[in-house]
Structure 1
Amino acid sequence: MNTPHAASRCPRPSHVDVKPRRMRFGLDSLKRHWHSNDAFRSHFFNGLSTLFPQGERFFIDSVRGVQHEITDPVLLAEIKGFIAQEAVHGHEHDKYNNLLREQGYDIDKLDRHLGFWTRLGQKLMTRKQQLATTCAVEHFTAIMANALMRYPQDWLGDAPDAMKAIWRWHAIEETEHKAVCFDAYEAVGGGYFTRILMMIQTTIHFSYVTTRHVCHFLAKDGVLFKASTWKSGFQFLWGKPGLIRQIFRDYLDYYRPSFHPWQHDNSTLIDEWKAQHEEKYSVRPAA
C-alpha cells in the first residue's frame, strides 16, 4: 500500500497510480456539431478543450514553482506523474483544437485572450496563490470528471466514439491526480483563506472564459442569438439532469476547512474504465 505523505488527510487509494498514458483515439476529423447534432453541446466541450493546453502549462508551472520546498518522496513522485499526465493532455487537446482551427474557428484569437489572463496571473499572484488557483481548477476538473464517468449518457450520450474516448480518458487521469496539487499546497504551508479566495476568483474567471469561448464558436456558426441554442444550453447545464446540478454539491464541498479531494473516493470508476477501455485505446505507457 502507498504510504500517505504528511500533508495528506485522506491518502490516494493504493491501487490508483498517477502515471501518464499514450492513447490513440482516431480523431482525424470532426463534424461541426459532433455532439447529438447540437451546437451548444458540441461547443461546450470545444470551449473547454481550447482552455486546456495553456491551462495545463499553468498548472505544471505552478507546482514546479514550489516543488523545491517539498521533501516527501511519495508526493514528489506524484508531482512527477501529474506533470507528465498534464503534458500529454495538452498535446492531445492541441490536436483536437487544430481540427477546430481547420473548420475556421479563430483558435489563435482565443489563445491570445487566454494567454493575456495567464500571464497577468503569473505576474500578480504569489507562487502559493498560483498553486491555490491550480487546486481550484483541479477541483472543477475532478468533479466534472466524476460526473462524466458516473453519468456518461447525460454528458456524451450521442457523441462519436472517438470523442467519448478522449473525454473519458481525460476524466480518468484528472481523477487519478486530483489531490496532487492540493497536497503540494498543504505541504508548503498553504492556508485555508488563500485556498478559498482563489476558488472564488477561479469560479468567476473559469465561468467567464468558458462562456466567452463557447460564445465564439456559436457566433461563428451564426446561432449565438437563436432561442433554440440557449434552450438547449439551459437544459444541458441546468435542466434535469443538468450538468451543473450534478456537480454543484461536490463543488461546495471545497469550502469546508477539512476538505480533501480523496474524501470523494471514486476510484472504482477508474477501475471500470481500465477494464473496458484502456487496452483498446492505449498505444504504450508514456515515458
Structure 2
Amino acid sequence: MSNKPIRRPGPVESGHAPPRPRRVSFSWADTPLHWVPGDPFTTHTVNVLHLLLPAGERWFVHVYKQVLPYIHDDALRADVIGFIGQEAMHAQAHDEVLPHLREQGLDPTPYTAQVDWMFEKLLGDRTLPPGRPRWWWLRERVALIAAIEHYTAFLGDWVLNADALDRAGADPTMLDLLRWHGAEEVEHRSVAFDLFAHIDGAYARRARTWALAFGALMFLWQRGIRFFLANDPTLDRGPGGTAKASLMDFHRRGRAGLLPGTGALLRSVPGYLRRDYHPSHECSTAQALAYLASSPAARAADAAVGKDAG
C-alpha cells in the first residue's frame, strides 16, 4: 500500500472541490414505456442502466466505506466521501424507475435478482482470514470499481453530448435523469482511479480487473437488452416468439448518435490500459458542472436545500 498523497496528472481544471450529492427526485407519471418514441431497442438498451446500477452502486458504497480507514490523504478522503454520497443517490434514483416499469407491464425482478446476487454474493464480503487475504480482496474490489468507473465516465460524457436523443423526441424527464447522473460521473471520474492508486496502483491488477469488468459489463448488458425485449408486453414477438436484437442494431444506432458508437467504445479500451492513464485527461468537468447548473432535477434539489437552510 502506498498511501502517498495523490498527484493528479493531466489537465488541471480550476476550482476543484469534492463532489457533492444532489438529492434529486423525478416523476415518471408522464414517461412512456418506450421513452425514445418508436424505438424500443434504444429505449431498452439504455434501460439496462436501471437494472445494473442500483445494486452496483450500493456495492461501490459498501466497499468504499470499508476502505475509508486506509486513506491517509485528506483531499482524497473528502473526494471519496463525496463519491459515496453521489453513488448512493444514483442507486436510489435508478431504483425508483423500476416500479414505473412494473406499472407498464414489464417486471424487471427476474433480472435484478441475478444482478443482486452477483454484487452481494460473488463480489460481496467473503469469510477470509484477517490480514493479507482480506486486504487482497479489498484491493481487488477497489480496482474493479476503478475499471467500471472508466466506463461510467465514458457513458456520462456520451449522454451529455447525445443531441440525437433530443432530436428523436426522447422523454425529457428520462434525459434529465441520465444527464444528471452522467454529469456527476464526469464530475467524480478521477476519484475511483485515485483511490486505487493510493492503496495499490499495481499495473497488473489494473489490467486484470479491467478485463474482468469489461467482460462482465458486456455480458450483463446484452442479457439485459434481451430480457427487456423478450418481456416488453407491447412488442410483436414474431413467429419465433421473441423480439430480436443484434450487434448491428447497436452499431446502427451508434452511428445515428442514439447510442454510444462502437468505434468510440473500442477506442476507450487502450486508454485505460496506458501506463500513464489518468481520468483527468478525458471528459470535461466544466461541461458536467454546466449541465448540473441547468438540470431541472438538480436545480430543484439545490432550491430545496436553500429553502431548508433558510
TM-score by length of 2: 0.82
Measured at CA, do residues 16 and 247 of structure 1 come closer, stay the same or move farther in structure 2, by a change above 3 Å?
A: farther
Higher relative contact order (CA 8 A, sep 6+): 1
Check whether the contact 2:35–2:170 (CA below 8 A) recurs between aligned residues. yes
- Partner residue of 2:160? 149
- Partner residue of 1:65? 66
- Partner residue of 2:132? none
- Tell me whether 1:236 sits opposite 2:249 in the alignment: no
Measured at CA, do residues 179 and 223 of structure 1 come closer, stay the same or move farther in structure 2, by a change above 3 Å?
A: farther
Check whether the contact 1:40–1:229 (CA below 8 A) recurs between aligned residues. no
> Relative to structure 2, which stretch is displaced further, 28-37 or 193-202?
28-37
- Partner residue of 1:252? 270
Measured at CA, do residues 280 and 115 of structure 1 come closer, stay the same or move farther in structure 2, by a change above 3 Å?
A: closer
- Partner residue of 1:122? 124
Report how far residue 23 of structure 1 moved.
2.2
Larger radius of gyration: 2
- Tell me whether 1:138 sits opposite 2:149 in the alignment: yes
- Partner residue of 1:167? 178
Report how far residue 100 of structure 1 moved.
1.1
Check whether the contact 2:23–2:89 (CA below 8 A) recurs between aligned residues. yes
Identity of aligned residues (%): 25
Report how far residue 69 of structure 1 moved.
0.9
- Partner residue of 1:208? 219
The 2-side partners of 1:245 and 1:138 are apart by 19
Report how far residue 115 of structure 1 moved.
1.8
Report how far residue 68 of structure 1 moved.
0.9
Superposition map of 1:31-70 within 5 A:
31-70=32-71
Report how far residue 63 of structure 1 moved.
1.9
Question: Root-mean-square deviation (CA), in Å?
Answer: 2.7
> Relative to structure 2, which stretch is displaced further, 70-79 or 148-157?
148-157
Q: Give 3-state SS (helix, strand or coil) of 2:13's partner.
A: coil
> Relative to structure 2, which stretch is displaced further, 134-143 or 19-28?
19-28
The 1-side partners of 2:12 and 2:166 are apart by 26
- Give the partner amino acid of 1:233: F
- Tell me whether 1:88 sits opposite 2:58 in the alignment: no
Deviation per residue, 1:176-230 (Å, 9 max, x gap): 1111111111111231111110110111111111111111110012457456887
Report how far residue 279 of structure 1 moved.
7.6
Deviation per residue, 1:249-268 (Å, 9 max, x gap): 23320010110101115122
> Relative to structure 2, which stretch is displaced further, 135-144 or 151-160?
151-160
Q: Where does the alignment leave 5 or more consecutive residues of structure 2 unmatched?
A: 127-135
Q: Give 3-state SS (helix, strand or coil) of 1:25's partner.
A: coil
- Give the partner amino acid of 2:13: P
Q: Where does the alignment leave 5 or more consecutive residues of structure 1 unmatched?
A: none
- Partner residue of 2:106? 105
Q: Give 3-state SS (helix, strand or coil) of 2:32's partner.
A: coil
> Relative to structure 2, which stretch is displaced further, 183-192 or 22-31?
22-31
TM-score by length of 1: 0.88
Measured at CA, do residues 52 and 226 of structure 1 come closer, stay the same or move farther in structure 2, by a change above 3 Å?
A: closer
The 1-side partners of 2:73 and 2:25 are apart by 34
Report how far residue 116 of structure 1 moved.
1.9
Q: Give 3-state SS (helix, strand or coil) of 1:15's partner.
A: coil
Measured at CA, do residues 50 and 156 of structure 1 come closer, stay the same or move farther in structure 2, by a change above 3 Å?
A: farther
The 2-side partners of 1:141 and 1:156 are apart by 24
Report how far residue 173 of structure 1 moved.
0.5
Measured at CA, do residues 109 and 254 of structure 1 come closer, stay the same or move farther in structure 2, by a change above 3 Å?
A: same
> Relative to structure 2, which stretch is displaced further, 153-162 or 36-45?
153-162
Q: Give 3-state SS (helix, strand or coil) of 2:301's partner.
A: strand
Check whether the contact 2:293–2:299 (CA below 8 A) recurs between aligned residues. no
- Tell me whether 1:272 sits opposite 2:274 in the alignment: no
Report how far residue 28 of structure 1 moved.
2.7
> Relative to structure 2, which stretch is displaced further, 268-277 or 107-116?
268-277
Check whether the contact 1:53–1:93 (CA below 8 A) recurs between aligned residues. yes
Report how far residue 245 of structure 1 moved.
2.5
Q: How many residues align?
A: 283
Measured at CA, do residues 228 and 86 of structure 1 come closer, stay the same or move farther in structure 2, by a change above 3 Å?
A: closer
The 2-side partners of 1:12 and 1:80 are apart by 21
- Partner residue of 2:193? 182
Measured at CA, do residues 170 and 144 of structure 1 come closer, stay the same or move farther in structure 2, by a change above 3 Å?
A: same
The 2-side partners of 1:82 and 1:206 are apart by 21
Report how far residue 22 of structure 1 moved.
1.9
- Tell me whether 1:13 sits opposite 2:38 in the alignment: no
- Tell me whether 1:263 sits opposite 2:274 in the alignment: no
